[in-house]
Amino acid sequence: MSSTPGSRPSTTAIVGWLVAAAVLLGVAVLVALNASSVWNSFFPPQAKSVEGQEIRNLYDIVFAIAVVIFVLVEGLIIWTVVRYRRKPGDDELPPQTHGNNIAEITWVLLPTLIVLYLFVISWQTLNSVEAVDANPNLKVRAVAGQFQWSFEYLPADAKADTTAAFTITNPGGPEGGLFLPAGETTHIYLHSPDVIHAFYVPQFLFKRDVVPTGDFRERENQFDVEIPATDAGQTYRGQCAELCGVGHRIMTFEVHILAPADFTAWYDQQVAAKNATPAPAPSGTAAGPSVPLTAEGVKFDQSTLTGPATGFTIHFDNKDNGIPHDVDILDGTGKKVVDDKDFPGPGAKDYVIPPLPAGTYKYECSIHPGQMFGTLTVQ
């Protein structure tokens, strides 16, 4: 089983070549499959903000230096290992070199210069990314609560705790998410009522923690983002990047970039909608029998529900103060057949369930699917 030092160079050589061949083969196959997408996978997505473009420029420099250092040092290791393997007849000791002060000084000074250079350029980029416009075109407060984003649009003279002009409560979809004007600078405040979240949009190459600060609202994080004028019409995804509990993964949101004129029209429309008299609560729409369901302590009070195939109403009572819940219905394949809108407690709502084919369904709170679910039988 074991070999004495130097007696079986062939075994070790075979092992060495096997490792090298496996690694090289794997890399070669991957690269041959799709060279340009492999290359692109070593870079962040194309930056969609002015700050993100500066970060990307810095990334490219760091990446270039890293690749050069990696190739040189790893190459030196591999070359040394291959070149200085013990060969038959190597009985005399090799030269017993204990060190070399000039070499030591060299590999202290050279890396020091490289890291100082990297530090200076990253500090410069940092100053530019962190710079805040005295007169931003727009102020928005991104509110991250367990486990949903909402976006409050603020008046021009707003501070961290100013009341919103209007609020977008849906984090995604055609009418939900963060709407930003192209070609303009938006100042974003970050507010959390519960735990730490992080505002992260990969296309901005940027994230910032949403730290709860209690009564000290002026300590909340804030930053500027400037969207290039050419990006109107684009949509991309953002996501919470700091573990915030069981619903962490579902805290996604969409960013919609609108042309300035479209943005102004959208903004005015939202303000008008907010100022309009609230529509009377839908009445008389309740169809079929009413089935009660209560949410309390991030749990449903019932794990089974039964309703007629002709349609019915779920009277949903959310008793969790400040925590949004809803009741969505999924068929056997996991496809959502009823997508109800969530609302924070305390409060109650009648969800009208349309006629469904008889069978067994799953109902869940789309915000806390891990803890809040049950079985619905449609007869």
Site string for another protein, 198-237 (x = CB under 8 A): x-x-x--xxxxx-xxxxxx----x---------------x
Span 42-71, contacts to another protein by CB under 8 A = 42-45, 52, 54-55, 58-59, 62-63, 66, 69-70
Euclidean distance between the first and the last CA atom of the chain, given in angstroms as a whole number: 69
Span 133-172, contacts to another protein by CB under 8 A = 146-147
Q: For tokens 């939202």, name the residue.
A: 270
Q: Which is nearer to another protein, 15 or 261 (CB)?
A: 15
- Give the residue among 373, 362, 317 at the shortest CA–CA distance from 343: 317
- Give the residue among 197, 228, 205, 188 at the shortest CA–CA distance from 126: 205
Residue 302 corresponds to which tokens in the numbers above? 């019932």
Q: Which is nearer to another protein, 198 or 232 (CB)?
A: 198
Residue 68 corresponds to which tokens in the numbers above? 């050069």
- Give the residue among 180, 177, 185 at the shortest CA–CA distance from 224: 185
Least separation in angstroms between residue 261's CB and another protein is 30
Q: Report if residue 363 touches another protein, rule: CB under 8 A.
A: no
Q: Which is nearer to another protein, 36 or 97 (CB)?
A: 97
> CA quadruple 241, 244, 246, 250: dihedral positive or negative?
negative
Q: Out of 73, 131, 271, 348, which residue is the one contacting another protein (CB under 8 A)?
A: 73
Q: Which is nearer to another protein, 96 or 379 (CB)?
A: 96
The whole-angstrom separation of Cα 67 and Cα 224 is: 32
Q: Report if residue 344 touches another protein, rule: CB under 8 A.
A: no
Q: Report if residue 331 touches another protein, rule: CB under 8 A.
A: no
Span 76-135, contacts to another protein by CB under 8 A = 76-78, 80-81, 84-87, 90, 93-100, 103-104, 107-108, 111-112, 115-116, 118-119, 121-123, 125-126, 129
Long-range contacts of 270-277 (CB under 8 A, 24+ apart): 270/153, 270/165, 270/166, 270/168, 271/165, 271/166, 273/166, 274/165, 274/166
Q: Report if residue 260 touches another protein, rule: CB under 8 A.
A: no
Least separation in angstroms between residue 317's CB and another protein is 17
The window from 13-21, 265-273, 275-283, 346-354 that contacts another protein (CB under 8 A) reads: 13-21
The whole-angstrom separation of Cα 64 and Cα 59 is: 8
Is 295:372 a contact under the CB 8 Å cutoff? yes
Number of residues lying near another protein (CB under 8 A): 109
Q: Where does residue 233 rank: exposed (0-12), middle (13-18), buried (19+ CB within 10 A)?
A: exposed
Least separation in angstroms between residue 36's CB and another protein is 14
Least separation in angstroms between residue 314's CB and another protein is 20
